[in-house]
Chains A and B, each alone.
Chain A
């Protein structure tokens, strides 16, 4: 009986194994063999350049912006031989450490429309709109439709509209820009790229501003455009908003008029066969919803636009395939099924993989990030750190905490070394240890626990028998940040301060704006810094025109002087002037909010160079951006 059962079990096992092997033969031939395969946990649902659910990665592959832009390659040295572009132009980015608006300043005229150098660097001229030929300013769409400049409804007569228009439209320093279009430049369907396409794009966005609102926002100051007889494109901004011009040039993707003139609902119509000026194109059958998107290099793509020293075969096909789970993605990369992971990897996972010999064939790109993690103190009306609180010793305690922070240890413990130290750019001027050197330059943070203890010993908070001073602070943070809070707590224990982690129940900005919150003393914040990590760029502070704080203004700072400084900075064309103003902005913010920079976490991606090589890392950007992929070649 037992033998019979065993035989049955054996037969069943054999049948199962046989079925499995038979099944294994059911696999189809890979359609994209030889392609660069990128694994991603999400795929875009739409490839319209202006769809909010599209992906900048694909937009980069298919389309070019008005001027084109490029990130700074890691390790860039000002050697024109290494970074000269095929059209003869040399890559000369502005020193980002000195430029608060650096991300819009990499205007690089290597394709598409080129700015005319007449008159100034970017070809703009100033003029006074109150002159007779500019009277039609009062016919601006926003006024005709009954909304004023901040978008509030106007309930007045036509005459009052006109009067208001004269008040609200800047009277001077309107700006005119003139661009020449590169001859012989074509869309991927062979149609020539002309200035008419650029004018069509601007007008199209204005016409569909409700649906293309995020792009229409860039054109808030756009007045009109025209195509000149010589084929140049001219557009006018009804303000002296220099940064708006940069946003327009870098963010608005030019549309092919011959395709888009029939598109009535740009957000709803699915564009599965995008026509662009980029290096790749998509065949309709290569878009498989929720599975894969595969693009093919253009046969007629201008070879001169590829890198000069490019050798070997370019990547003919790039296939982005959906794999929703990170562990599966990593395993797949290790097996060689994919060549790159499109998702950003957290430092813990990166550490585990990089220290496991089984994954030795996986490479890691770890590039510096623009964001700096900071410890933001609650100085609101209910906060412990507001002036006069903590028995009048708020300033001493803030400074002692700052002195006690050891950034390098935090980077080692929490980020496994995958981070960068930063400067004390946001601390108050009374913190003598921080801020600037003898030349007035911002300097990196330094740690001095003894000085911190000495400072606290001058207060009433003296250490008791167990080494603590009776100071306990609560840090509200997400569960992912708990390790960081604990690590900071361990450091603060050296000066007798206890730190308690409290889990944030919401990440929604309104809920954690410390200004209105009584239940915690600190939060972890993220602030944009410059490339040298010493100077903060102001994007997250200040208020809107209506007086309400900006979305990420967690301190709820509302300050007229700060707003004025920020406006000046954003509207100044001169880079050096922007830098000086940025320093003033930073100093002003430091007086209004208390924030201690901790470190900058690197941006991490995994890839493998077993089949493709030529990967280029770029500062502040992941390795999988559409631009750097143009440099890859088959081994």
Chain B
């Protein structure tokens, strides 16, 4: 068992090292002169000025020295200063993550819950009306590009029937209020409670439920209610668009999985043993049918931080997707490098977690 964990961990670290190295060398391969983005407005013949810029930013050092310095900076979370924002890259990135999470996390939680409910309901009604409706819907949602759906939803629900706002995360002129001390107090209390429950009742489930719940409560305490409502009001339309597509896809996944599991021999055995249909459904069929969903959700978790580039662009939502687009368009490669590295770290981490959680649900994995 320990060997399995160690193997997974070593391979994750190795992949991460490769990605970090690529992340350093790729921008240097993209430009003839990697200092190019720093020369904004400096003509080609201003050699002295360009030389000073190169020197000031360490581009005159040998490549291996630059690489060493890059690794050193990574360990101190120093990703440099963003060329377009004139702020530390770390600060710029982390100011955007919460905004992306509002859309991605909310939509994922809602989509997974709704997806499981619909999928389970339809899974046991194969070839019936509900099943046909779901399949029809899935064809439609697969065929409709999300940006088109976003534009149509803006047209319908923001312009023709002006119910929702269509741009930004808050009403223009307002910023999100945040009270740090109440946030920390409430969140730490919940963490303490989760640890206490884990120790007293010896159930790990408290760590996974109480802490996220604590984060939510702490956020609600720390942010003024008017701001929470304003953000939710502005998030409504992007959420509708994202949830519309993803909940159908999760429903279909659970539905297919349910159908596949139902035809397995162990389900037949369970029925033959005379177990009640409800027990067969929830304890044997449903639990096993969730395995593909866990993999899928695990893979999608890394995308939570990344946000949705298209949706964020159309709704002018200040998330990570927009940030990556801006960084790429403006040649701010320190920023894009850091964002891609963050995505890579998250992907590797969530894949690792998925592997480990999967083992809990399906012990055959480690045995294999």
* Interfacial residues, chain A to chain B (CB-CB below 8 A): 20-21, 23-24, 26-32, 42, 45-46, 51-53, 142, 147, 150-152, 209-210, 213-217, 220, 267-270, 285-286, 288-292, 294, 319, 321-325, 327-328, 331-332, 335, 510, 544-546, 548, 550-551
Contacts and interface: CB of A to CB of B under 8 A. Distances in A.
Contacts of B167: 321-323, 328, 332
B164 A52 contact: no
B43 A217 contact: yes
A324 B323 CA distance: 12
Given A45-B85, A270-B86, A291-B318, A31 B45 contact: no
Given A213-B53, A270-B87, A510-B32, A291 B170 contact: yes
A438 B360 CA distance: 92
Given A23-B236, A214-B40, A267-B86, A150 B45 contact: yes
Interface of B: 32, 39-53, 56, 81, 83-87, 95, 151, 154-155, 157, 159, 162-175, 226, 229-230, 232-233, 236, 312-314, 316, 318, 322, 326, 330
Contacts of A152: 47-48
A26 B51 CA distance: 55
B171 A52 contact: no
A45 B84 CA distance: 6
B159 A288 contact: no
B173 A21 contact: no
B261 to A, nearest CB: 27
B154 A331 contact: yes
Given A322-B167, A335-B159, A213 B316 contact: no
A55 B242 CA distance: 34
Contacts of B83: 52-53
24 contacts: A20-B157, A28-B174, A28-B226, A30-B172, A31-B173, A31-B174, A32-B173, A45-B84, A213-B41, A213-B52, A217-B41, A285-B175, A290-B322, A291-B172, A292-B172, A294-B173, A322-B167, A324-B312, A325-B314, A325-B316, A328-B316, A332-B166, A546-B45, A546-B47
B52 A210 contact: yes
The 6 closest A-B pairs by CB, nearest first: A214-B41, A31-B173, A151-B48, A151-B47, A544-B45, A52-B40
A150 B45 CA distance: 7
Contacts of B314: 324-325, 328
B163 A24 contact: yes
A214 B173 contact: no
A507 to B, nearest CB: 13
Contacts of A322: 167-168, 316
A289 B173 CA distance: 10
Nearest to B95: A289
Contact of A142 (B32, B48, B326): B48
A319 B174 CA distance: 13
A286 B175 CA distance: 10
B238 to A, nearest CB: 12
B171 A31 contact: yes
Contacts of B174: 28, 31, 288
A64 to B, nearest CB: 20
A269 B83 CA distance: 12
Contacts of A42: 326
A276 B344 CA distance: 44
A237 to B, nearest CB: 17
Contacts of B312: 324
Contacts, number: 158
Contact of B52 (A209, A220, A335): A209
A290 B318 contact: yes
A321 B314 CA distance: 14
Given A30-B173, A213-B53, 11 more contacts: A27-B171, A30-B172, A46-B86, A52-B41, A150-B45, A210-B52, A214-B42, A215-B41, A285-B175, A550-B44, A551-B44
Contacts of A328: 151, 154, 166-167, 314, 316
B335 to A, nearest CB: 11
Contacts of A28: 171, 174, 226, 230
Contact of B322 (A209, A220, A319, A324): A324
A291 B169 contact: yes
Contacts of A270: 86-87
Contact of B173 (A151, A215, A292): A292
Contact of A151 (B51, B56, B157, B232): B51
A32 B168 CA distance: 15
Contacts of A289: 95, 318
A523 B163 CA distance: 49
Q: Which of A27, A268, A544 has the most CB atoms of chain B within a 10 A radius of its CB?
A: A27
Contacts of A545: 45
B308 to A, nearest CB: 13
Contacts of B169: 291
Q: Which of B86, B87, B169 has the most CB atoms of chain A within a 10 A radius of its CB?
A: B86
A29 to B, nearest CB: 8
Contacts of A319: 172-173
A164 B84 CA distance: 40
B47 A331 contact: no
B41 A327 contact: no
B211 to A, nearest CB: 29
A287 to B, nearest CB: 10
Given A45-B86, A325-B314, A550-B44, A209 B49 contact: yes
Given A288-B175, A324-B322, A26 B233 contact: yes
A31 B226 CA distance: 14
Contacts of A548: 44-45
A45 B83 CA distance: 10
A116 to B, nearest CB: 30
Contacts of B230: 26, 28
Nearest to A24: B163
Contacts of B50: 151, 213
Contacts of A331: 154-155, 159
B283 to A, nearest CB: 28
A158 to B, nearest CB: 19
A147 B47 CA distance: 9
Given A31-B171, A152-B47, A292-B172, A268 B81 contact: yes
A523 B232 CA distance: 50
Contacts of B56: 210
Given A30-B171, A322-B167, A331-B155, A213 B81 contact: no
B322 to A, nearest CB: 7
Given A23-B164, A545-B45, A53 B172 contact: no
B28 to A, nearest CB: 16
Nearest to A320: B172
Contacts of A550: 44
B56 to A, nearest CB: 6
A213 B172 contact: no
A294 B290 CA distance: 51
B233 A147 contact: no
Nearest to B32: A510
A267 B86 CA distance: 7
A161 to B, nearest CB: 15
